[in-house]
Amino acid sequence: MEKEQQELYEYARKRIKQKKNLYYHFVFFLIGSLFMFVANELLEFGMPTIWYPWAITIWFFLVILHFIKVYITDRFMNKNWEREQIDKLVKRQERKIQQLDSRRDDLLPKQ
């Protein structure tokens, strides 16, 4: 039972770290977006091109991908999902091996 508790603890620790990194990414995005706006509009960096909306849009898309990874993909494809998939594959391979063994036994001449 102690191994299960350790696995649960490690999974919880990993999830908390993922969520914390996502929050940091979001806050950094907000501050960075403000900085890009100020640099382009007020400090006229890169003028006459207005580039900050494109940069913010691309960065926002990356934040959305990070959100999807943390809250959707990793939530469902965790250790239990991996174990279930491995078990399915192992059972499928065992069935194929049994089928091949039975075919081999049928093909071999009986003595």
Dihedral sign from CA coordinates of 17, 18, 20, 24: positive
Residues 28, 34 contacting (CB under 8 angstroms): no
Give the integer Cα–Cα distance in Å for 10 and 56. 35
Put simply, whether the predicted model's pTM sits higher than 0.75 gets the answer: no
Give the integer Cα–Cα distance in Å for 76 and 89. 18
Dihedral sign from CA coordinates of 58, 63, 66, 67: negative
Give the pLDDT of the chain (111 residues) as one tens digit per residue: 688 888 888 888 988 999 999 999 999 999 999 999 999 988 888 888 899 999 999 999 999 999 999 998 887 777 778 888 888 999 999 999 998 888 887 777 766
